[in-house]
Chain A
Amino acid sequence: MVLNTFRTFCAVFAAVIAFSGTPTFAQDIVLGASVQLTGPVANTGRYYKDAYEFAIDKINAAGGVKVGNTKRKLVLKLYDNQSDVNLSVRQYTQLVSQDKVNFLLGPFASNFALADSAVSEKYRVPMVQGGGASDQIFSRKFKYIFGTLAPASHYFASTVNMLKELSPAPKTVALLYADDAFDVSVAEGTRPLLQKAGLKIVIDERYSTNASDFNSLLSQIKSVNADVVLVAGHETEILNFVRQAKSLAVAPKMYSFTVGVPSEDFRKALGKDADYAFGMTAWLPSASLKDRWFGDAVQFATAYKTKYGYDPDYHAASGVADVEALAQAIENAGSVDPQKVRDAIAKLNFPSLYGTIAFADNGQIDLPQTVIQVQADKLVAIYGGEGFIEKPKYPMPAWNAR
């Protein structure tokens, strides 16, 4: 019996070894990534797959990346981490040590980026990620992780600035945030901003990620009559929040959410109830954002929509920016040596459809957020670095008065 066991064991081991190799061409530059294509966060994770592929195809169509005197094509090696952080860490390790990719592209979500950046640091392969904004990712003095999402702590900065200029002036704020890396960072950054703006925080409540019932919190918000509600959370939670706000007839003067509002999916799921909701985005498809490969952001957005059937939001643009950053850095360095390219990434400063790509010393980009609002099914940019762009629909009327 033990002999049979031994035989089975050997057979299995042999199979594993046989399966563990993938050929790639020596000339191509391979970019590896482990992204959430299935599992609870897949509805945003898949934007990154689409974005990476889109950008790589475009760059290759333009001839590829110039390394010294030769032009080389980019190839994407993508794994599905099934929204499991542990699996994504193992997959990144596999990408580096087995598949021998040249550089890494990031996953979606801060908690993933936090864990996966340990791999890029361990193996000293640069990773450019566009899915994690938490300040924690960049506070460990790692040298090989770069991020194209603006810092979480600044997410509500332009919103708070806007609040100061609204009339009738709001006085009280309810701050709700999920208990994960990104949202806690957002809350930590927002509190001092609110205090400096002279707004009183009447509710400051951390809630469990994936909470589906907000009735108690909403009832509390109603009973203290908060003027402004800021929620840092995930799309599914915010969806529930808005629906339950309606069913409990809770209508503060304004509410703003860190995610959801920019994505078409979210607005469709809520239908008319999405109206009046504020959000923010570091990116809007504007013709003033010129790009070497795509022309400008508007052309990019149209081409993207034609290919994939949905409007790209800042996640997609961020993903494209990651690929462009790597491509540009490789060209600037004139080599694919990880150390040289890493240094080149740190020194990058070039315009793209996502905005100016330049990383601070800690590896994170800093772009200002534009406040947006859903107005009659359309997404309107309301307030930016220079003040009001459009008139906001404020204050929000009671639910039965819409």
Chain B
Amino acid sequence: MTAFRVVLVVVLAVVLAVLPLFGSDVLIQFGINALLLAVLAQGWNIIGGYTGYPSFGNSVFYGLGSYGVAIAMVQWNLPFAVGMIFGVVLAVGFAFLLGIPVLRLKGHYFAIATLALAQVMSAIVSNISLAGQNIGLVLPPLNNDRLFYELSLGLLVLSTLTVFWLTRSRFGFGLIAIRENEEGAAVMGVNTTLYKVLAFALSGIFTALAGGIHAYWITFLDPESAFDISLNVKMIIMAVFGGPGTVFGPILGALVLSAVSEVLSSEATNVAGLFFGIVVVAAVVLMPRGVADVIRQFRVSGWRYFIENLKAHRI
């Protein structure tokens, strides 16, 4: 990273940080949502982008984080920070307990297993009365969007720094090695099981924190929205759209797609969902390596980039 780029990123971060001072309420709302989605995408990036294990179970971490905060605040009257820690503890516990057996699976089996886990957790939580069963919990309202915005931004900065650290640390290199050739990595002395579970847990921590912030912000959660699989798919799409395995790709993907989705939802509500689906399909076909890759290669190959992608992947 050149000095110029570092300065640019810092400037961007500062701009984002002071946005609430002169932005409208709706912009701040959009910001919170987009920032949280960016955190989720970054979190997924760790296990999916860098380690190569496409997890559909991040919604479990999200849900555990949300419920951690909700149960702590509503049932036990503890402060928000304690709730967040509780959520993280739940997420890490889950990552270790269920991560070990599930991470032995490869490719789409891993994806399906995590998807099934998300469904199981949703079904289990809807039977636990401490969690309000299927009706969910209503949290005490806090009318301070700016606080949530800054918290989300802080979390995004933290997660991005973590991913950046990954690109320069031995742990991160180990994860990339696992992604490229797991057997080779094991032969080379990488403790693949430990590394995978750690990546899973790390991914889970950020996801759970994001879930906790979201729950407090929305003041309401129920199993369906907390363990929502389509949220997991959104995380993945944003990470993949932006560029998996890169530091800024997921952020870019999250912000662009959030903006598109928000504009559609407010201007053309009827077809918002339809357009989203079409965008996903088009993106996967035309730019499977993400927007980050498009930006990088466009200067080199121009419009031929898309055609080359098509030719490379079809039969």
Contacts and interface: CB of A to CB of B under 8 A. Distances in A.
Contact of B29 (A12, A17, A90): A90
Contacts of B273: 38, 82
A85 B220 contact: yes
Contacts of A79: 265-266, 269
A86 B36 CA distance: 14
Given A38-B270, A114-B138, A87 B265 contact: yes
B222 A118 contact: no
B141 A121 contact: yes
B262 interface: yes
Contacts of B305: none
B269 A8 contact: no
Contact of B270 (A3, A80, A84, A179): A80
Nearest to B299: A4
Interface residues of B, number: 43
Contacts of B248: 2, 5
Contacts of A98: 24-26
A61 interface: no
Interface string B8-52: 110010000000000011110110010000000000000000000
Contact of A181 (B30, B135, B262, B269): B135
Nearest to A121: B141
Interface in A26-54: 37-38
Contacts of B133: 179, 184
A37 B269 contact: yes
B232 to A, nearest CB: 14
Contacts of A84: 225
B167 interface: no
Interface in B168-211: none
Interface residues of A, number: 45
B141 A93 contact: no
A306 interface: no
Contacts of A389: none
A16 B220 contact: no
A9 B248 CA distance: 12
B256 interface: yes
By secondary structure, the B interface counts as helix
B130 interface: no
A209 B259 contact: no
Residue among B25, B135, B222 with most chain A CB within 10 A? B135
Interface in A67-108: 79-80, 82, 84-87, 89-91, 93-94, 97-98
A350 interface: no
A136 B248 CA distance: 43
A121 B8 CA distance: 41
A97 B29 contact: yes
Nearest to A139: B138
Contact of B26 (A1, A97, A140): A97
A97 B222 contact: no
Contact of A180 (B30, B135, B225, B259): B135
Contacts of A97: 24-26, 29
Contacts of B295: 1, 4-5, 8
B225 A16 contact: no
A118 B255 contact: no
A115 interface: yes
Contact of B255 (A12, A38, A93, A179): A12
B272 interface: yes
A170 B288 CA distance: 65
Contacts of B25: 93, 97-98
A16 B23 CA distance: 12
B220 A94 contact: no
Interface in B264-307: 265-267, 269-270, 272-273, 291-292, 295-296
Contact of A19 (B126, B256, B267, B296): B267
B9 A93 contact: no
A400 interface: no
B219 interface: yes
B249 to A, nearest CB: 9
Nearest to B291: A8
Most central of A2, A87, A180 by chain B CB within 10 Å: A2
6 contacts: A16-B30, A20-B266, A82-B269, A82-B273, A84-B225, A89-B220
Q: Which 5 A-B pairs have the closest CB atoms?
A: A97-B25, A179-B134, A98-B26, A80-B269, A115-B220
Interface of B: 5, 8-9, 12, 24-27, 29-30, 33, 123, 126, 133-136, 138, 141, 143, 218-220, 222, 225, 248, 252, 255-256, 259, 262-263, 265-267, 269-270, 272-273, 291-292, 295-296
